[in-house]
Structure 1
Amino acid sequence: MDAVLHALSQAGVMGWEILWALVLGFALSAVVQAVVRRSSVARLLGDDRPRTLAVATGLGAASSSCSYAAVALARSLFRKGANFTAAMAFEIASTNLVLELGVILALLMGWQFTVAEFVGGPVMIVVLAVLFRLFLREGLVRRAREQADRQLAGAMEGHAAMDMSVQTEGSFVRRLLSGDGFTAVAHVFVMEWAAILRDLVLGLLIAGAVAAWVPDSFWQTLFFEGHPLAAKLWGPVVGPFVALASFVCSVGNVPLAVVLWQGGISFGGVIAFLFADLLILPILNIYRKYYGLRTAGFLLVTFYVSMVAAGYVTELVFGGLGAVPERSRATLPTGGVTWNHTTWLNIVFLALAALLVVRFVRTGGIGMLRMMGGAPQHGDGEAAADDR
C-alpha cells in the first residue's frame, strides 16, 4: 500500500506542476484551431509533392493533439481525396508538432527537447515520404481506400469529424474577438481536454509508478549507460518499443519521457520515443480497422524506420552543436503543493479554463461531448455533409 500511495503521490505532484502549462498550451492551440477551417484541407492535400507535404505539416500542427483523433481525421481526409502520404504527414504533425506538447517539454525537460521535437518532426515526415515513394504500391493504396470507405469506427471518430472553427468572414483578430470566436475557442479547448484526458492521466500514473518502483539500475542496463556510443546507437532503436508497450499517447507520454531520460536513454532515443505515440498497440489496431492488415503492417515498419531516423538526426545535430542538456535539468517534481509561482500560475490558468468551460456549457457543448467518442450521426459534422 505504501508503494501504491507513493506512486499516486508522484503522479499527483507531476500533474500539479504541469497543469498551468497544459491549460496555456491547449488555450493557444484552441485559438489556432478556431480560425483554421477544415472544409478545404482535403483539397490542398491532393498529391505528395514537397509543397503539399509542407502544407499538410502546417495544417496538422494547427490541428488536434489527440493521437486517436489525429488518426481518425487523417482517414477522413484520405476518404475525401487527400493523398495517402499527405494524410500521414498531417497525422504526424497533428500529434507531434503541436503547441501544447512543446510547452510541456520545455517545462519538464528543457527548451532543447522542444526544439528537437520541432526539428525531428519534419525529418520524420521527409523520411516517411521517401519510403512511401520507394515502397508504397498503388495496389496497396487502392485496398487501403476501399477499407477506409467501409467506415469502420475507431476511437475519437466523432471528435475528428467536428469542425468547430469560426465560419464568419473577417480578419484573424476580428474573428477571434467575436462572440462566435469566443465560442469556438471554448469548444475546441474543452473537446481537446476531453480527448486527451484519459491518456494524460494514464501517462502520469505510469510515470509515477515507474519512477517509484523501477530501480535506476534497470534503465541503466537497458539503455547502455556508461557506453556513450552504444547508448546513442541503441536509444532511437529501443525508444519506440518502450512507447509501443506503454499504451500512452499525446502529451501523456512526456512524464514517462522524463523518467526514461533520467534513466539513461539517449537524447535521440527520447525523441524517437515521443514520436512513437502513433505506434502504440491500440492505434495499430485502429490502422488495421481503417486500412487493412497489410497497410497497418506497412505503416508500422515505415513509421518505425522514420522515427529511428529522426532520433538519429536530432542526436547528431544537437550533439554536434553541444546543445544536449544535462540530465539533472529534467526532474520529476516531488515537493508537493506549496505557495510558489506554480501555484499562482495554476490559479490564474484554472480561472481561464473555468471561463472557457462555462462558455462551452452555455453554448450547447454538452451534446457535443456525448457524440465525440463515436462516429457522428447523420446531420452532425462533416460526415453528414459527405452523405448529402
Structure 2
Amino acid sequence: MIMQIINSIGQALFMAFSMFWEILWPLILGFTLSGIIQAVVSHQSIARALGGDSPKHLGLATLFGIASSSCSYAAVALARSIFQKGASFTAAMVFQLSSTNLVIELGIILIVLMGWQFMVAEYLGGLLMVILLALIFRLTLTRRMVERARAQAEKGMMGKMEGHAAMDMSVSGSSFWNKLFSGKGLTAVSNYFVMDWASVWVDIALGLLISGALAAWVPDSFWQAFFLSNNPTLAKIEGPLMGPLVAMVSFVCSVGNVPLAAVLWRGGISFGGVVSFIFADLIILPILDIYRKYYSWKTMGYILVTMYITMAVAGYVIEFLFAALGIIPQNRNVVAITEGVHWNYTTVLNIIFLVLAALMVIRFLRTGGLSMLKMMNTPAEQMDHHDHEHHSMDGAD
C-alpha cells in the first residue's frame, strides 16, 4: 500500500517535471522579450495614453497590455494604478485582459506544449474578448458605476503584487536600440526578467503540480464523462461555459494554467472549452477578492459577469470558426505530459536559455536587485519611484 502511494506520487511529480522541462526555454524566452518591451515603455506613458474608451484608446490599452507582465496579480494591480492616474475604467480592464491573454510568453508555451492552433486561438480569442468587453461596457457601464469604482480605488486597499506593478524601471533614450543596449537598459531588462519570474513562479509551480496530479491520478474516463465527450454536440455547448468555472476554482493564474489546460484537453474538453479555460485567469477566486477590495462588491460582480460572458462567447466563436476551417486538432495525446527528459532540441534550448537566465540573474544581483524583491508586495502609494529607479540603475553604466 505504501509503495503504491509512493509510486503514485512519483508518477505525478514525473509528469509535472516533464511539462516543466518542455516549457522551460519558452518561459525564459518569453520573459526576456517581455522584459525588453517593459524596459522601453514607461507606466506614465501608459496612463497618459488611456484617458478614454475610444477605439484608439482601447487599441493602445491592448498594445500596452501585450507589452506588460503576464502575472495576473501584477496586471490587476497595475490596471488599478493607471485607472487612478486617469485611464478610463474600460481601458484599464482591456489593459489587464491583454496583459494576461495576449502576452508573448503565453503564445510560445502554447505552441510548444499544445500546438500552433491553440496559440492562434488564444491570440484571436483574446482580441475578440477585447472587442466584446468594450461593447458590453459601452452598453451597460454607467457613470455612477465608474464613480463608485474610482472612489473605492482611491481608498488604496491592499491587493497583491502592488509593489511589483508600481516598479517603473523603463529607461529614456533617443531610440529603441540606444535604450536597450545602454547599461541602464540591460539592467532594466534583467530586473523585469527576475521580478516577473518571482511574481509567477508560485502559479507556475502550482499549475504544474496540480496538472501532474490530475494527469496521474484522475482517469481520462472521468474527464470524458465530465465534459460529455461521448456527445460532441453537447460537449461543444458545455465546454465554453464550463471552462471558466473550472478555472475559477483552480486558483491557478497567468501562464501556470497552460499545463492544466493540456490535461483537460487530453481528458476530453472541447476546443472552445479549453480556450475559454485559459482565458479565465482573471476571474479566479483570489483575484475576484482583489476586485472587491479595489473597486467594491458591486463592481466585482459586474467584472465577473461581463468577463465570464466574453470568455464564454469567445470560446464559442473560436470553436465554430476553427471547426469551419477544419483546423481543430484531433490528436489529444499531449506527449509533453509523459515524455520526460531526452537529448533533443528541447534539452539543447533549455541549456542555452538557462545560461541566458543565469546572466540575467547575475546582473540583477549585482545591481541591488535583492532589495527590490522585498518590495514586491509593498502598497503602491508607499513606493518612492524616484529613489527606487535611481537605486536599481546605479552602477549599471
| Shorter-chain TM-score above 0.5 | yes
Question: 1:347 maps to which residue?
Answer: 351
Q: CA deviation at 1:17?
A: 1.8
| d(CA) in 2 for partners of 1:24, 1:260 | 26
* Matches of 1:34 and 1:327, distance apart in 2: 40
- In the other structure, the counterpart of 1:235 is 239
- Compared CA separation, residues 310 and 367, structure 1 to 2 (3 A): same
In percent, how many aligned pairs have the same letter? 59
Change (3 A) 1:248 1:2: same
What is the alpha-carbon distance in structure 2 between the residues aligned to residue 191 and residue 85 of structure 1?
Answer: 27
Q: Give the one of 113, 116, 122 matched to 1:111.
A: 116
Deviation per CA, 1:38-84: give whole Å up to 9, x if none.
11211111111112111100110000100000000000011111100
Asked if the contact 1:249/1:278 (under 8 Å) is kept, the reply is yes
Task: Give the secondary-structure state (helix, strand or coil) at the position aligned to 1:372.
Answer: coil
Post-superposition offset of 1:6: 1.6
Describe how 1:59-74 pairs up with structure 2 within 5 A. Answer: 59-74=64-79
- What SS does structure 1 have at the residue aligned with 2:342? coil
- Aligned 8 A contact 1:66 1:95 in 2: yes
1:258 touches 1:332 (CA, 8 Å); kept in 2? no
Shift of residue 126, structure 1, vs aligned partner: 1.1
Would the alpha carbon gap of residues 379 and 254 (structure 1) be closer, same or farther in structure 2, given more than 3 Å must change? Answer: closer
Match of 2:252? 248
Q: Is 1:334–2:333 an aligned residue pair?
A: no
- In structure 1, distance between residues paired with 2:176 and 2:113: 32
Inter-CA distance 311–104: structure 2 relative to 1 (3 Å threshold): same
Match of 1:89 among 91, 94, 97: 94
Residue 15 (1) aligns with residue 25 (2): no
Taking structure 1 as the reference length, the TM-score comes to 0.96
Q: Distance in 1 between matches of 2:131 and 2:251?
A: 26
Render the CA deviation track for 1:340-388: whole Å, top value 9, x for unaligned: 2222111110000000100011111111111012314645238999xxx
**Residue 366 (structure 2) pairs with residue 356 (structure 1):** no
Structure 1 position 76 matched with structure 2 position 90 = no
- State how 1:289-300 maps to structure 2 within 5 Å: 289-300=293-304
Secondary structure in structure 2 of the residue aligned to 1:328: coil
Tell whether 2:10 aligns with 1:5.
yes
Instruction: Tell me if structure 2 keeps the 8 A contact 1:73–1:161.
Output: yes
Aligned counterpart, 1:99: 104
> Quick check: 1:110–1:330 contact (8 Å CA) kept in 2?
no
Change (3 A) 1:199 1:373: same
**Could you say what secondary structure the match of 1:39 adopts?**
helix
Moved more, 333-342 or 149-158: 333-342
Match of 1:150 in 2: 155
Q: How does 1:1-388 map to 2 (within 5 A)?
A: 1-167=6-172, 169-328=173-332, 330-376=334-380, 378=382, 380-381=384-385
- TM-superposed CA distance for 1:316, in Å, is 1.6
1:160-216 CA deviation, whole Å, 9 max, x = no partner?
Answer: 00111112x111112111111111110010000001000000000000010011111
Q: Is the 8 A contact 1:35 1:176 kept in 2?
A: yes
Count of matched residue pairs:
384
Partners of 2:281 and 2:331 lie apart in 1 by 22
Deviation readout 1:254-291 (Å, 9 max, x if unpaired): 00000111111111111110010001000000000000
In structure 1, how many angstroms separate the alpha carbons of the residues matched to 2:387 and 2:211? 37
Structure 2 Cα separation of the partners of residues 261 and 378 of structure 1: 44
Cα shift at 1:132? 1.1
CA RMSD of superposed structures (Å): 1.6
- 5+ unaligned residues in a row in structure 2: which ranges? 1-5, 390-397
> Matched residues in 2 for 1:205 and 1:19: separation?
15
Amino acid at match of 2:24: L
My pick for the range that moved more, 45-54 or 241-250, is 45-54
TM-score, structure 2 as length reference: 0.94
Residues 275-312 of structure 1 deviation map (CA, whole Å, 9 limit, x = unaligned)? 10001000000000000000000111000000001101
Q: Aligned partners of 1:381 and 1:194: how far apart in 2? A: 20
Tell me, in whole angstroms, the C-alpha distance in 2 between the residues paired with 1:338 and 1:236. Answer: 36
The offset of 1:129, in angstroms, is 1.2
What letter is aligned with 1:184? A
Would the aligned equivalents of 1:20 and 1:350 in 2 still touch at CA under 8 Å? yes
User: Once the two structures are superposed, what CA deviation does each residue of 1:233-267 show, in whole Å capped at 9, x if it has no partner?
Assistant: 11100000010010000000000000111111111
Which deviates further from its counterpart, 37-46 or 55-64? 37-46
Helix, strand or coil at the partner of 2:70: coil
Is the Cα contact below 8 Å between 2:272 and 2:316 reproduced in 1? yes
| Contiguous gaps of at least 5 residues in structure 1 | none
Deviation at 1:230, TM superposition (A): 1.2
How many Å separate the matches in 1 of 2:62 and 2:101? 10
Conserved? CA contact 1:140–1:295, under 8 Å: yes
Partner Cα separation in structure 2 for residue 4 and residue 231 of structure 1 = 31
